[in-house]
Chains A and B, each alone.
Chain A
Amino acid sequence: MLRRRTLIAAAGATALATPAFAQNFPRKAVQMIVAFPAGGNTDIGARILASIAEKDLGQPITVVNKGGAGGQIGFTEGARARPDGYTVTFINLPSVSTIVLDPERKAAFKMDSFVPVVNQVLDPGVVWVKADSPYKTFGDLLDAARKAPGKISACTTGILSDDHLAILMIDDAAKVDFRIVHFEGSAQQLTGVMGGHVDCAFDNVGGIVKRVKSGELRALVVTDDVRSKFLPDVPTTKELGFPSVISSSTRGIAVPKGTPADAIKVLETAFLKAINNPEHIKKMDEQGLALKPMVGAEYAKYYADSHAAATKYTEWALKQR
Chain B
Amino acid sequence: MESLGYLMAGLGAALSFNNLLFAFAGCVLGTLIGVLPGLGPAAGTAILIPLTFNLDATGAIIMLCAIYYGAMYGGTITSVLINVPGEAASVVTCIDGYQMAKQGRAGSALAIAAIGSFVGGIVATILLVVVAAPLASLALKFGPAEFFALMVAGLCLVVGLAGRNILAALLMTALGLLLSLIGMDPVRGAPRFTFGVEELYDGIGFVPVVMGLFGVGELLLAAEARQTHLIQADLKKWYPTRDEWRRSSGAIGRGTVIGFVLGLIPGVGAIVPTFMAYVLEKRVSKNPERFGKGAIEGVASAETANNAYANGSMVPLLALGVPSSPTIAVLMGAFIVNGLTPGPFLFQEKPELVWTVIASFFVGNVLLLILNLPLVGLWARLLKIPFAYLCTGVLIFCIIGAYGLKQSLFDVWVMLGFGVLGYVLRKLDFPIAPAILALILGPMMEKSLRTTLEISGGSFAIFLDRPLALALLAVPLIVLAAIVVRPRAFANLRQTDIE
B143 touches A214 (CB 8 A): no
Q: How far is the CA of A181 from the CA of B316 in the complex (A)?
A: 22
List residues 278-298 of chain A with CB under 8 A from any CB of chain B: 283, 286-287
B322 touches A187 (CB 8 A): yes
A216 at the interface (CB under 8 A from B): yes
Nearest chain-B residue to A68 (Cβ)?
A: B202
List residues 327-351 of chain B with CB under 8 A from any CB of chain A: 329-334, 336-337, 339, 341, 343-345, 349
B320 touches A192 (CB 8 A): no
B457 touches A187 (CB 8 A): no
A1, A38, A160 pick with most chain B CB within 10 angstroms: A38
B333 touches A43 (CB 8 A): yes
Nearest chain-A residue to B335 (Cβ)?
A: A39
A17 at the interface (CB under 8 A from B): no
A191 touches B326 (CB 8 A): no
Nearest CB on A from B466, distance (A): 10
B333 touches A69 (CB 8 A): no
A226 at the interface (CB under 8 A from B): no
User: Which listed residue (B188, B198, B326, B341) contacts A37, Cβ 8 A?
Assistant: B326
User: Which listed residue (A73, A153, A194) contacts B140, Cβ 8 A?
Assistant: A194
User: Which listed residue (B142, B329, B455) contacts A40, Cβ 8 A?
Assistant: B329
A residues less than 8 Å from B330 (CB atoms): 38-39
Nearest CB on A from B359, distance (A): 23
**Given contacts A40-B333, A184-B447, A188-B267, A105 and B455 within 8 Å (CB-CB):** no
Which of B41-49, B67-75, B156-164 faces chain A?
B41-49
B143 touches A51 (CB 8 A): no
A179 at the interface (CB under 8 A from B): yes
B382 at the interface (CB under 8 A from A): no
Nearest chain-A residue to B188 (Cβ)?
A: A104
A78 at the interface (CB under 8 A from B): no
User: Which listed residue (B49, B198, B266, B454) contacts A181, Cβ 8 A?
Assistant: B454
**Given contacts A65-B43, A197-B144, A211-B321, A38 and B333 within 8 Å (CB-CB):** yes
A residues less than 8 Å from B45 (CB atoms): 38
User: Which listed residue (B142, B198, B337, B344) contacts A216, Cβ 8 A?
Assistant: B344
Nearest CB on A from B171, distance (A): 29
Count B interface residues, CB 8 Å.
53
A12 at the interface (CB under 8 A from B): no
B189 at the interface (CB under 8 A from A): yes
A39, A151, A191 pick with most chain B CB within 10 angstroms: A39
A211 touches B343 (CB 8 A): yes
List residues 113-135 of chain B with CB under 8 A from any CB of chain A: none
User: Which listed residue (B46, B322, B409) contacts A38, Cβ 8 A?
Assistant: B46
A residues less than 8 Å from B184 (CB atoms): 69-70, 72, 105
B323 at the interface (CB under 8 A from A): yes
Nearest CB on A from B133, distance (A): 13
B332 touches A39 (CB 8 A): yes
A321 at the interface (CB under 8 A from B): yes
B residues less than 8 Å from A64 (CB atoms): 407
B337 touches A44 (CB 8 A): yes
B201 at the interface (CB under 8 A from A): yes
User: Which listed residue (B49, B345, B447, B455) contacts A197, Cβ 8 A?
Assistant: B455
Count A interface residues, CB 8 Å.
54
Nearest CB on A from B415, distance (A): 18
Nearest CB on A from B460, distance (A): 16
B residues less than 8 Å from A243 (CB atoms): none
User: Which listed residue (B46, B186, B341) contacts A39, Cβ 8 A?
Assistant: B46
A108 at the interface (CB under 8 A from B): yes
Nearest CB on B from A170, distance (A): 17
User: Which listed residue (A44, A72, A210) contacts B201, Cβ 8 A?
Assistant: A72
A183 at the interface (CB under 8 A from B): yes
A residues less than 8 Å from B316 (CB atoms): 191
Nearest chain-A residue to B199 (Cβ)?
A: A73
User: Which listed residue (B143, B322, B341) contacts A210, Cβ 8 A?
Assistant: B341
Q: How far is the CA of A40 from the CA of B267 in the complex (A)?
A: 15
B residues less than 8 Å from A96 (CB atoms): none
A106 at the interface (CB under 8 A from B): yes
A195 at the interface (CB under 8 A from B): yes
Nearest chain-A residue to B190 (Cβ)?
A: A104
List residues 44-94 of chain A with CB under 8 A from any CB of chain B: 44, 47-48, 51, 64-66, 68-70, 72-73, 76
B266 touches A187 (CB 8 A): yes
B53 at the interface (CB under 8 A from A): yes
B residues less than 8 Å from A211 (CB atoms): 321, 341, 343
B406 at the interface (CB under 8 A from A): yes
Q: How far is the CA of A310 from the CA of B306 in the complex (A)?
A: 44
B140 touches A38 (CB 8 A): no
Nearest chain-A residue to B53 (Cβ)?
A: A51
A residues less than 8 Å from B269 (CB atoms): none
Q: How far is the CA of A192 from the CA of B142 in the complex (A)?
A: 9
B141 at the interface (CB under 8 A from A): yes
Pick the 4 closest A-B CB pairs, nearest first: A68-B202, A104-B190, A195-B140, A39-B330
Can you list 29 A-B contacts (CB < 8 A)?
A38-B326, A38-B330, A38-B333, A39-B326, A40-B329, A44-B333, A44-B337, A48-B337, A65-B43, A65-B46, A66-B406, A68-B201, A73-B202, A104-B191, A105-B190, A105-B191, A108-B198, A150-B457, A159-B188, A159-B189, A182-B186, A190-B320, A192-B143, A195-B141, A197-B144, A211-B343, A216-B345, A286-B337, A321-B188
B residues with CB within 8 A of A? 42-43, 45-46, 49-50, 53, 140-144, 183-184, 186, 188-191, 198, 201-203, 266-267, 316, 320-323, 326, 329-334, 336-337, 339, 341, 343-345, 349, 406-407, 409, 447, 451, 454-455, 457
Given A38-B329, A43-B46, A216-B321, 14 extra CB contacts under 8 A: A38-B43, A38-B46, A39-B323, A65-B43, A69-B189, A70-B189, A73-B201, A76-B201, A179-B454, A182-B186, A188-B267, A190-B321, A197-B144, A216-B343
A residues with CB within 8 A of B? 1, 37-40, 43-44, 47-48, 51, 64-66, 68-70, 72-73, 76, 102, 104-106, 108, 150-151, 153, 159-160, 179-184, 187-188, 190-192, 194-198, 210-211, 214-216, 283, 286-287, 321
